[in-house]
Amino acid sequence: MQGTYKSVFMQFPYSDIQRTITKFFGALPLDREAVSMVRSNFEDRDSSKSGLLDWDQFVKCLTDAAKSALVPHEYNTIARNYALYPHISKERRRELLRTFIQQRLRQAFWEPQQKLLTALIRIDVENRKFISREEMDNILKATRIPTKYVLVSMYLDLVETDHGIPYEQVVRDLDWVRNPGRHLAKLPEKMDLNFDFNKFFGEDKRGVRYRDFIQDLRRFGCR
């Protein structure tokens, strides 16, 4: 019914990169050559020796290695974490995401200054202006932000720092009343975990840094 909005907040385990790499590593054969075989499969497809693979090729290599141990969303989560967006800056992606989320909040008349800020200040007892990702997740769940959590997670990935989540920036970014998103020629009809920023902004080619993935996979195996 028009004018009725349902708050949709869900944990999205398939978007957890550490959990997904752990699951991927666990699906490999239990021998020292397992990671080397994955690396060789990547290198065989990298004819230019650039260290980059096309998204689909990268996912195909992962699928060949771990088979059905992971679901498609998990393979794409790994690719997204190592994707190279040479033409689409973090700032442009953040601006698109925050504007898209603002649109959902505006439709639901949900104001971050009213709904979020007080709860965030209350949890920041040391006045650090940063909180952990887990704390932010819990606050967003408690305040029932009316948008899919996967979108919020994608946005938080772009603003999270070594100190945590700068929550005052988050409130400002999502505040459609006092700080509306920049005017964009268009907004996508929908966004999800596999949203193609390059295609949306007119740069269809996206590469995945497989060497960085192999390094992380090797480090994980040494733990």
Number of other residues whose CB lies within 10 A of the CB of residue 154? 23
User: For 117-129, how does the pLDDT look when each residue is reduced to its tens digit (9 = 90+)?
Assistant: 999 999 999 999 9
Query: Which one, of 184, 167, 172, lies nearest residue 92 by Cα?
Result: 184
What is the sign of the dihedral through the CA atoms of 188, 85, 145 and 130? Answer: negative
Q: What are phi and psi of 54, to 5 degrees?
A: -55, 145
Q: Which residue has the tokens 């385990």?
A: 13
Phi and psi based region of residue 41 (left: phi greater than 0; alpha: psi -120 to 50; beta: remaining): alpha
pLDDT of residue 120: 94
Residue 206 banded pLDDT, cuts 50, 70, 90: low
Number of other residues whose CB lies within 10 A of the CB of residue 15? 20
Extract the tokens encoding 177. Answer: 């009343």
Range among 38-42, 46-50, 216-220 with highest mean pLDDT value: 38-42
Contact 208, 83 (CB under 8 A): yes
Look up residue 11 and give its amino acid. Answer: Q
Phi and psi based region of residue 204 (left: phi greater than 0; alpha: psi -120 to 50; beta: remaining): alpha
Domain ranges for the chain:
13-85+206-221, 90-197
pTM of the model: 0.57
Q: Which residue has the tokens 């979108």?
A: 151
